[in-house]
Structure 1
Amino acid sequence: MRDARAEFIEGLALVLAGSGLQRMAARVLGAVLSSETGSLTVPELTETLSVSPAAISGAGRSLIEAGFLIKSRNPGDRLDSYSLGSDHWYEAVISRNPVYPRLAAEFDRGVGAVGADTAAGRRLAETRDFFSFVAERTPALVAEWQAQRAARDERS
């Protein structure tokens, strides 16, 4: 029987893969997130996920590029570790995510390509406006979350 942590990792991986993240990368992220230290070496990840070091390497590279994890090595240690960049890595990822403004710009280009007065142009404009809104609101949402977290921490 599988343990609860393994089930969590696989469940999270399915959700994240359904949202566009590569499945192995999602599994690695789930393993690191659910580790006690928030950091795992490649051998620890291969054992936890029952996969090859090469699979970990590829997944780790994509997570580093996306800003989810950092790769480090302790002084005197020969093993690389994948870890969360900070306690609030998710804020950094969402705050600096350039995809929303880029999507808005592409949808704006689409409006120009098909014409603003067409049914397609109106759909593309609506989608452009949504992503512009999300890009504009993201910093305020992160600030609101930080205030809520600070208030929660003060009560604890």
Structure 2
Amino acid sequence: MTARVLATLLFTEQPSMTMSDLAEQLRASNGAISTAIKMLSSVGLVERQPAPGSRREHYRLRDDAWTVLYTNQNAVLAAMRRAAEAGLEATAADSLAGRRLAEMRDFYDFLLAEIPALLERWRAK
């Protein structure tokens, strides 16, 4: 449902949509839409949009959604890196699990080092 809500907000020509709009268009329950909106909002893809004269909450895809998503994901990447480090402390380095965890840690170290420069290049585009 989250992907369907994201796709709907991505393709709509309306400046914003209410949960009811989304539920009607997707033929889904308000609860399913609400859950999807919460998830998309938590990662920075969707935001509330003021709608003068309306009592309902309106939502839209953020203008800078993709960079915000990537920036917010840095917290997830850092958590994954910490999890790998914690696993390494509890595992023998020469074990299969130790090698997997070291690769995981190194991968996230690489991503965390590269993402800021990538975002700067994107913004300069």
- Runs of 5+ unmatched residues, structure 1: 1-23, 149-156
Match of 1:56 among 33, 36, 51: 33
Distance 1:123 1:38 in 2: 46
Unpaired segments ≥5 residues, structure 2: none
Farther-moved stretch of structure 1 (55-64 vs 67-76): 67-76
Other-structure match for 2:69: 93
Look up the match of 1:3. Answer: none
Note closer, same or farther for the CA distance 1:119–1:43 as it changes in structure 2 (3 Å cut): closer
Q: May I ask how many residue pairs the two structures share in their alignment? A: 124
The equivalent residue for 1:76 is 53
Kindly report structure 1 stretches of 4+ aligned residues shifted beyond 4 Å: none
Q: CA RMSD in A?
A: 1.6
Amino acid paired to 2:34? S
SS of the residue aligned with 1:114?
coil
What percentage of residue pairs aligned between the two structures are identical? 37
Q: Could you say which structure has the greater relative contact order, defined with CA pairs below 8 angstroms and 6 or more residues apart?
A: 2
Match of 2:106 in 1: 129
Task: Indicate if the aligned counterparts of 1:110 and 1:124 stay in contact, CA closer than 8 A.
Answer: yes
Contact 2:16 2:59 in 1 (8 A): yes
Q: CA deviation at 1:100?
A: 0.8
After superposition, the C-alpha distances for 1:11-37 in whole angstroms (9 at most, x for unaligned) are xxxxxxxxxxxxx11111110011113
Asked if 1:36 corresponds to 2:13, the answer is yes
Aligned-residue offset at 1:120 = 2.0
TM-superposed deviation, 1:99: 0.8
Given that residues 46 and 56 in structure 1 are in contact (C-alpha distance below 8 angstroms), is that contact kept between their aligned partners in structure 2? yes
Distance change in 2, residues 1:56/1:143 (3 Å)? same
Question: d(CA) in 2 for partners of 1:120 and 1:44?
Answer: 48
TM-score between both structures, scaled by the size of structure 1: 0.72
